[in-house]
């Protein structure tokens, strides 16, 4: 047992330390731009230490104009670690060590869920290079824990950890349709327990801030609604190529309509399947849950106004769970996973070189950067299509 745990601890710890060493140049040069882009060590963390008042020890949501543009979980994690820091460099170091610990913890949980493929998470180049860009791993760890408890049918813990993940980064809200479908497929009435714990967790973590600092608490939602198209999104790519679609349609409206169309299509398809026979067994249902969860976040990221480089950290664990949950031949067909990861790595290199150019240096042109956005999204959906076909080619009901 201890020997099995030593492997993921050693591998994830080593990857984390290599990523930390990669950040040394930025630390030595104060994370200045465009130097931090050239050396691939940009991080939001030191930049927000002073710009959001974390260095002052104030509540991160008390100033409605300059409040943290993240859900309360991220804001209070950042402000708590800021109280332990005397400078933005120390703040970065403390956060980096915490994120390495979370990488190790997430890898250990993945080892339990997907014993055949867990190592691909820390070894994925773009994921390893994205560890310190933002606080995403704080939310990814409880998300993966939530799936672990769903797999073991501990729906109280699953609801708590998925709720915690939503409170930190909000993205797992888009997993709830897939989780609802899981309960429909298995005909389990434990959905009440799951959603009760999830709702209690969300209310408990948000209510005080929402009451005392409502405008600051609301900033996350207003910021994301009002922000323009940004890096990594197909909207941004088309604008760089000379086709500014935002002149004709609202990205917010299109995103909402596409999500509704996807939900209706998924419901119509699976409601027919569910009427055909007995409930699906738990193992098959969990495999479909991980597949739908991966597709849900992949779809949302692909159509959203921003597609940040660290979002690969969210998709990779979901992909590994879907790959390893009973899909035959996937151990011999990991080439599709690596095609996607190569696309992510190309984009990861391109975005920083584009920002060098954008900052006035000599980097990647806007046209080439736009093409790498499209390559990244295309490689993601090539992999998603293969994974979808592999999963649905299997019997979906217990034999």
Percent over 70 (pLDDT), the chain: 91
The dihedral formed by the CA atoms of 110, 113, 114 and 120, expressed in degrees to the nearest 10: -10
Q: pLDDT digits over 296-325, tens only? A: 999 999 999 999 999 999 999 999 999 875
Q: Is the model's pLDDT at 396 over the cut of 60?
A: no
Per-residue confidence (pLDDT) for residue 328, from 0 to 100: 56
Per-residue confidence (pLDDT) for residue 53, from 0 to 100: 86
Q: pLDDT digits over 195-233, tens only? A: 999 999 999 999 999 999 999 999 999 998 888 899 999
Q: Is 270 exposed, middle or buried (0-12, 13-18, 19+ CB in 10 A)?
A: middle
Q: Which region among 150-154, 243-247, 269-273, 383-387 has the lowest average model confidence (pLDDT)?
A: 269-273
- CA distance readout (Å), 34 to 37, 91, 191, 344, 361: 5, 21, 49, 22, 7
Q: Is the model's pLDDT at 399 over the cut of 50?
A: no
> Degrees (nearest 5) of the Cα angle 66, 355, 302?
80
CA distance 377 to 307: 10
CA distance 139 to 80: 16
Evaluate whether 63 touches 209 at the Cβ level (below 8 Å): no
Evaluate whether 169 touches 74 at the Cβ level (below 8 Å): yes
Q: pLDDT digits over 343-388, tens only? A: 999 999 999 999 998 887 788 999 999 999 999 999 999 999 989 8
> Of 35, 23, 152, which Cα lies nearest the Cα of 89?
23
Q: Is the model's pLDDT at 103 over the cut of 60?
A: yes
More confident residue, 187 or 194: 194
Phi-psi map region of 30: left, alpha, beta (phi>0 left; psi -120 to 50 alpha): left
pLDDT-derived band at 394 (thresholds 50, 70, 90) equals very low
Place of tokens 């969210």: 314
Place of tokens 């597949």: 291
Per-residue confidence (pLDDT) for residue 33, from 0 to 100: 85
Q: pLDDT digits over 104-119, tens only? A: 999 999 999 999 899 9
Q: Is 157 exposed, middle or buried (0-12, 13-18, 19+ CB in 10 A)?
A: middle
pLDDT-derived band at 398 (thresholds 50, 70, 90) equals very low
Hey, is 65 helix, strand or coil? coil
Per-residue confidence (pLDDT) for residue 110, from 0 to 100: 96
Percent over 90 (pLDDT), the chain: 65
Per-residue confidence (pLDDT) for residue 331, from 0 to 100: 55
Q: Is the model's pLDDT at 288 over the cut of 80?
A: yes
pLDDT-derived band at 102 (thresholds 50, 70, 90) equals very high
Show the tokens assigned to 18. Answer: 């290599």
> Of 255, 286, 277, which Cα lies nearest the Cα of 181?
286
More confident residue, 390 or 118: 118
Q: Is the model's pLDDT at 21 over the cut of 50?
A: yes
- CA distance readout (Å), 176 to 19, 182, 211, 241: 32, 10, 26, 35
Per-residue confidence (pLDDT) for residue 275, from 0 to 100: 59
Show the tokens assigned to 98. Answer: 């915490």
Show the tokens assigned to 384. Answer: 């998603």
H-assigned helices in 241-365 = 251-274, 282-303, 312-324, 335-358
Q: pLDDT digits over 60-100, tens only? A: 999 888 899 999 999 999 999 999 999 999 999 999 999 99
Per-residue confidence (pLDDT) for residue 359, from 0 to 100: 81
Q: Is the model's pLDDT at 283 over the cut of 90?
A: no
DSSP 279: P
CA distance 232 to 220: 20
Span 47-67, mean pLDDT?
89
């Amino acid at each position: 047992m201890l020997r099995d745990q030593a492997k993921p601890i050693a591998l994830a710890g080593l990857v984390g330390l290599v990523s930390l060493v990669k950040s040394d140049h930025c630390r030595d040069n104060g994370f200045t731009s465009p130097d931090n882009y050239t050396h691939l060590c940009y991080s939001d963390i030191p930049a927000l230490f002073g710009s959001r008042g974390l260095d002052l020890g104030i509540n991160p949501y008390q100033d409605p104009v300059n409040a943290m543009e993240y859900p309360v979980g991220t804001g209070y994690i950042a402000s708590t670690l800021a109280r332990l820091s005397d400078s933005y460099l120390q703040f970065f170091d403390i956060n980096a060590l915490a994120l390495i610990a979370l990488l190790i913890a997430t890898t250990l949980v993945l080892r339990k869920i997907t014993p055949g493929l867990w190592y691909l998470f820390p070894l994925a180049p773009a994921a390893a290079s994205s560890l310190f860009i933002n606080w995403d791993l704080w939310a990814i760890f409880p998300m993966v824990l939530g799936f672990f408890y769903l797999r073991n049918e501990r729906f109280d813990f699953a609801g708590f950890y998925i709720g915690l993940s939503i409170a930190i980064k909000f993205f797992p809200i888009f997993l709830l349709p897939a989780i609802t479908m899981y309960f429909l497929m298995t005909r389990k009435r434990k959905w009440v327990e799951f959603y009760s714990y999830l709702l209690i967790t969300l209310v408990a973590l948000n209510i005080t801030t929402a009451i005392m600092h409502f405008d600051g608490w609301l900033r996350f939602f207003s910021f994301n609604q009002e922000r323009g198209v940004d890096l990594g999104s197909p909207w941004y790519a088309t604008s760089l190529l000379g086709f500014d679609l935002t002149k004709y349609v609202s990205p917010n409206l299109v995103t909402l309509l596409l999500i509704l169309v996807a939900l209706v299509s998924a419901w119509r398809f699976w409601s027919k399947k569910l009427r055909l026979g007995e409930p699906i067994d738990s193992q098959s249902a969990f495999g479909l849950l991980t597949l739908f969860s991966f597709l849900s976040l992949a779809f949302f990221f692909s159509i959203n106004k921003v597609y940040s480089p660290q979002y690969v950290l969210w998709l990779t664990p979901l992909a590994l769970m879907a790959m390893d949950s009973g899909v035959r031949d996937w151990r011999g067909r990991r080439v599709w996973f690596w095609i996607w990861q190569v696309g992510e790595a190309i984009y990861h290199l391109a975005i920083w070189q584009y920002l060098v150019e954008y900052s006035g240096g000599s980097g990647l042109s806007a046209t080439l950067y736009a093409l790498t956005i499209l390559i990244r999204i295309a490689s993601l959906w090539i992999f998603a299509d293969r994974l979808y076909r592999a999963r649905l080619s299997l019997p979906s009901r217990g034999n």
